[in-house]
Amino acid sequence: MNFKSDNEAPAHPAMIEAITQANEGYAAAYSEDSWSRDLDGRFSELFETDCRVLPIATGTAVNSIAIAELSPPWGAVMCHQLAHIHTSENGAPEFYSGGAKLVPLPGENGLLEADRLARAIDAAGRHGVHNVKPSVVSITQATECGTVYSPAAISAIAAITHERGLHLHMDGARFANAVTSLGCTPAEITWKAGVDVLSFGLTKSGALGAEAIVVFNHPEWIEGMERRRKRGGHLLSKMRYVSTQLLAMLDADLWLELGRQANARAAELARGIENSSNVSMAIYFDPFVANNFDPGAGD
Amino acid sequence: MNFKSDNEAPAHPAMIEAITQANEGYAAAYSEDSWSRDLDGRFSELFETDCRVLPIATGTAVNSIAIAELSPPWGAVMCHQLAHIHTSENGAPEFYSGGAKLVPLPGENGLLEADRLARAIDAAGRHGVHNVKPSVVSITQATECGTVYSPAAISAIAAITHERGLHLHMDGARFANAVTSLGCTPAEITWKAGVDVLSFGLTKSGALGAEAIVVFNHPEWIEGMERRRKRGGHLLSKMRYVSTQLLAMLDADLWLELGRQANARAAELARGIENSSNVSMAIYFDPFVANNFDPGAGD
Amino acid sequence: MNFKSDNEAPAHPAMIEAITQANEGYAAAYSEDSWSRDLDGRFSELFETDCRVLPIATGTAVNSIAIAELSPPWGAVMCHQLAHIHTSENGAPEFYSGGAKLVPLPGENGLLEADRLARAIDAAGRHGVHNVKPSVVSITQATECGTVYSPAAISAIAAITHERGLHLHMDGARFANAVTSLGCTPAEITWKAGVDVLSFGLTKSGALGAEAIVVFNHPEWIEGMERRRKRGGHLLSKMRYVSTQLLAMLDADLWLELGRQANARAAELARGIENSSNVSMAIYFDPFVANNFDPGAGD
Amino acid sequence: MNFKSDNEAPAHPAMIEAITQANEGYAAAYSEDSWSRDLDGRFSELFETDCRVLPIATGTAVNSIAIAELSPPWGAVMCHQLAHIHTSENGAPEFYSGGAKLVPLPGENGLLEADRLARAIDAAGRHGVHNVKPSVVSITQATECGTVYSPAAISAIAAITHERGLHLHMDGARFANAVTSLGCTPAEITWKAGVDVLSFGLTKSGALGAEAIVVFNHPEWIEGMERRRKRGGHLLSKMRYVSTQLLAMLDADLWLELGRQANARAAELARGIENSSNVSMAIYFDPFVANNFDPGAGD
């Protein structure tokens, strides 16, 4: 068993197959091919609502393009202090947004807490133009500690977010783990609970490199996201090879099956750890989880 | 025959094969895998000199990361007015560099002319801090018009570039076409002629999405390029799937064979055009070539 | 007579007086003082319409903050190839906008021509996401060559600009020269002719350092401009000393009197040049005028 | 007595006088005038070492330009969680640096603690390219809480900073208060203790708007700082009016006299508070001090 990262495992054979099948004949370039054009419809079915989808090859790009669209350059992005966007993306959200500030908040087990979030937002912007402007709340589902937000927890965070005029982003690098672990529908922990944009990650699930920005209820954000994708060098000329992976993951709910398998392996691992060591239990291990900038937080 | 773009053709079967073979067992993530680690050596052989290589999935990212490393945010990047970096990347070089200015220059058949370049550099920076600072010259090989720079032409441009303290970048989105059409070695039209950094494109040649930044003689640029790659969301967690394509293209000189085939098809097409129309001849057609911002240039 | 620049002359005595008078007692910081709060009203009177005013100390900042608010990072800013924003601000508009592209256009005597502008806008954006997006037209009044746009010329440019969904910015570093030379009202060459935002410069007229962004009909741009001003370090804690200069310039139409004097001196100078040399006549001389990047434009 | 801010008091009469005297005759523009050219010499005397000085009108610009030069866009800037650069500049350091990350650290009474700083730096960068790169330590002297660093405290911080390859910036918005309160020389709490760049603020002391970047031992940073100053719109065409204020503050040690007066008033105020309220004592009050984003830090 490899302890280090989902990123080191080989891709699922269905991904190779999908790419092989997509490699037939000419297809329109730059995401105008039929695979890419099918994404809106297929994801709308999955999420039981009209949504818009941008295929992209990496999670860092998906997160950063989404956040940059939701926050002005002078925005504050409220997130957990262990959030991948804060600790492990080398400032990509700052780069794409033109210098927004990530505001890391403490919280048990990697979870953002609604009350603390409300206080932080209210404190952060109270001096107007002298402060960055709270603009986005970003939560990770499942979190960097392997915990999950329940639909109710997300709704509480969304209420605080929207009441104050901010937008809610979900980093779903391990969205499959969350859905299968909660036994809920994708809709229940996204737009039904108030999520505006989801970074839907399928690379850790077993794709070679396939992620998607999924936008709920805000078609007006698409143009900016498409511009940022191109400008960031993420509009692949041959996007069909990414889109076909996304579609293949949805076929027969492969992504859910892989999510369940990953959870089972993690639980096994956790039981082993619990029995034998003083490492605190977590569903899985992210090599970067511990990179909390502030050594004083735990004092 | 598809007239629109190399980007619409299927990938070469050897690429699918390479990906399939790379999909065996665990491999280190984030470009630490053995395929990615082989790149420096394999490209150093090809170029007959020690060079450093960063695999990246798209040409826009390769160009922009390279240029951003070579130019400060207040830099001027001298290029042909038809250069892809200027007309067709939605401002990606500006984005990655933090706002450098691309200075488009006229020139017959898509070719930058040494004299005009020298005058432009000298004019551009003469008011010091009030002007952007000429920092990079970027040439496209083969050009957006399908023409090529001879080794001597590149040397002349490089001399002007280096004498004035600038760096020379080559956008080699169609590098294979140039090498095979000129019948020279890769070394002869790059570092031997004074090129500092090459964007080596293999996607148009038949990869699914595989390009490389190749750095000659400037290892001090690698750290910044690696940082920019990560920060731009282009450090794939499973980089092996890109690197294996690059290696497969080099195997048995597949990239050269594909370059020769492309040139042959283009020549055929050109003959057809010559016989039948008033379209000016070019080896191949870029749908964006004509996007010259300045309608007065041809007056 | 000093040939080099209006920037080298001492400030008008009324400016020193205004500062001295403003230096009485406590006053709210950060543009909340009574002088700064009077600006909207006083400029609204001058322009015969409700307008919003942001005092700022330099012309480069005024131009760049205005343009950054009107253009997305992937925008194209159409301007004359001799425009100060393009040739002499070291990329400040690119910096403030997050990397917008300035598209320099030729035109006789420093004047943008309506037809050529229309063709350039239409050409620039035709490949959608692959191109930067034409977003702003910026004209200089009086121009860098000392010529002026008539109200009708501005209206023609504004029509082309607005029909295509762009915004019209006027760099009025020498707005006083234009108003007095044309013998029109400030309204006639700004909002009445379709200008959306004016950079109103009074430093060259004789202030120590006092300029203003004047926004017509778009109060929704104020928040972003205020944020950019603060973030750029241009929200002076003691803004009263800038605002009092602006007010003193408006008192008894001092700015117009100074504009008339400058025009008279320039005309005298021009007559001298006409009689004695082959320098082409211009109302005044900008040391940076000649910094046209493209030496081929005049070939 | 005005409790709100040094920024609301009128400027010292000597400032008006200095401006009036500088307003004689023509003077070179853009910081080439004789007042501006005298700054290096005068500050070198004051600091008892060769130093380079850039006059700038605001503290936010001074801090941001300095930090941007010392940190790459992917840098981490370690600072106290109450640091003005973090809480009250609307993301200006992020803007100027191209997206660096400010890492706020706790510490008693607004003071950064050497041990905690060392641990934070070591933790922040340990995952290489996945993390932002610790590049700058910024301390405020006097701090936002009105406390001061002793020369020994600064030396300890500088040692940790330099051993790890970072640079040390001092935000001296209230440098005069610190020097007079400590009874030391300016040299002792800057370069002698290891400070690389000082933001020397004189606006709060009584200037209309006059600050300076003072660079010790790193002349190679000047070009970039000058470029950033121009590009940020902070190269005043008539810089003499800023530089003359700086010189007048140094004449007969006016800045020190004003620093002593401010400290005396603050001490008086502090005694009043101590006797009458539960407000925690601080030498002076910054309206933005309390803007700590993280409400959990004090839990």
Q: Give residue C193's identity as a one-letter amino acid code.
A: A
Interchain pair A231, C72: CB under 8 A: no
Q: Identify the structural domains of chain A with CATH numbers, from first to last.
A: 14-274 (3.40.640.10)
pTM higher than 0.90:
yes
Interchain pair A73, D95: CB under 8 A: yes
* Residue A227 with chain B: CB contacts under 8 Å: 90
Alpha carbon distance D147, D132 (integer Å): 30
Interchain pair D287, A127: CB under 8 A: yes
pLDDT digits (tens, 9 = 90+) for C3-27: 456 899 999 999 999 999 999 999 9
Which residues of D, range 109-138, sit inside 8 Å of C by Cβ?
A: none
Q: Give the number of other CB atoms < 10 A from CB of residue A289.
A: 18
* Residue B87 with chain C: CB contacts under 8 Å: 131
Q: Give the number of other CB atoms < 10 A from CB of residue C168.
A: 25
Q: What is the pLDDT of residue B282?
A: 39
pLDDT digits (tens, 9 = 90+) for A252-273: 999 999 999 999 988 887 777 6
- Could you tell me where the DSSP H helices lie in D50-133? 59-70, 84-87, 92-97, 114-124
Residues in chain A, how many?
299
Q: Give residue C197's identity as a one-letter amino acid code.
A: V
* Residue B206 with chain A: CB contacts under 8 Å: none
Alpha carbon distance B53, B44 (integer Å): 9
Residue C265 burial (C-beta neighbours within 10 Å; 0-12, 13-18, 19+): middle
Which residues of A, range 189-228, sit inside 8 Å of B by Cβ?
A: 203-204, 208-209, 227
Among D26, D57, D230, whose Cβ lies nearest the Cβ of C8?
D26
Cα A160 to chain centroid, rounded: 20
C297 pLDDT exceeds 90?
Answer: no
Look over chain B and give the mean of its residue pLDDT values, rounded to a whole number: 91
pLDDT digits (tens, 9 = 90+) for D89-125: 999 999 999 999 999 999 999 999 999 999 999 999 8
pLDDT digits (tens, 9 = 90+) for C67-122: 999 999 999 999 999 999 999 999 999 999 999 999 999 999 999 999 999 999 99
DSSP state of C293: S
Tokens of B176: 């294979």
* Residue A100 with chain D: CB contacts under 8 Å: 91, 94
Q: What is the pLDDT of residue A268?
A: 85
Q: Tell me the CB-side half-sphere exposure of residue B43, using CA atoms within 13 A.
A: 26
* Residue D204 with chain C: CB contacts under 8 Å: 237
Alpha carbon distance D182, D184 (integer Å): 5
DSSP state of D295: T
Alpha carbon distance B42, B186 (integer Å): 13
- Could you tell me where the DSSP H helices lie in D113-185? 114-124, 151-163, 175-182
pLDDT confidence tier of residue A215, bands split at 50, 70 and 90:
very high
Residue C87 sits at the chain B interface (C-beta within 8 Å): yes
Read off φ and ψ for residue B77, nearest 5 degrees: -110, 110
Q: What is the pLDDT of residue D114?
A: 97
Q: Give the number of other CB atoms < 10 A from CB of residue C16.
A: 20
B146 Cβ partners below 8 Å, 6+ apart?
B110, B177, B266, B282, B283, B284, B285
Q: Which of C152, C276, C258, C261 is nearest to C207 (CA)?
A: C258
Alpha carbon distance C234, C163 (integer Å): 33
Q: What is the pLDDT of residue D291?
A: 39
Alpha carbon distance C278, C282 (integer Å): 12
Interchain pair C11, D23: CB under 8 A: yes
Radius of gyration over every alpha carbon of chain D, rounded to an integer in angstroms: 19
Let me know: does A217 contact A190? Beta carbons within 8 Å: no
Look over chain A and give the mean of its residue pLDDT values, rounded to a whole number: 91
Let me know: does A139 contact A80? Beta carbons within 8 Å: yes
pLDDT digits (tens, 9 = 90+) for B154-211: 999 999 999 999 999 999 999 999 999 999 999 999 999 999 999 999 999 999 999 9
Sign of the four-CA dihedral D9, D14, D16, D19: negative
- Strand C197-201, strand C167-172: pairing: parallel
Alpha carbon distance D127, A287 (integer Å): 9
pLDDT digits (tens, 9 = 90+) for D17-63: 999 999 999 999 999 999 999 999 999 999 999 999 999 999 999 99
Q: Identify the bridge partners of residue B138 per DSSP, sorted by sequence position.
A: B79, B169
Alpha carbon distance B291, C125 (integer Å): 8
Q: Identify the bridge partners of residue C168 per DSSP, sorted by sequence position.
A: C137
User: Chains meeting C at 3+ CB pairs closer than 8 A?
Assistant: A, B, D
Could you identify the residue written with the tokens 């200089």?
C140
C237 pLDDT exceeds 60?
Answer: yes
Note down pLDDT in tens along chain D; length 299 residues: 344 568 999 999 999 999 999 999 999 999 999 999 999 999 999 999 999 999 999 999 999 999 999 999 999 999 999 999 999 999 999 999 999 999 999 999 999 999 999 999 999 989 999 999 999 999 999 999 999 999 999 999 999 999 999 999 999 999 999 999 999 999 999 999 999 999 999 999 999 999 999 999 999 999 999 999 999 999 999 999 999 999 999 999 999 999 999 999 888 877 776 676 544 434 333 333 333 444 333 33
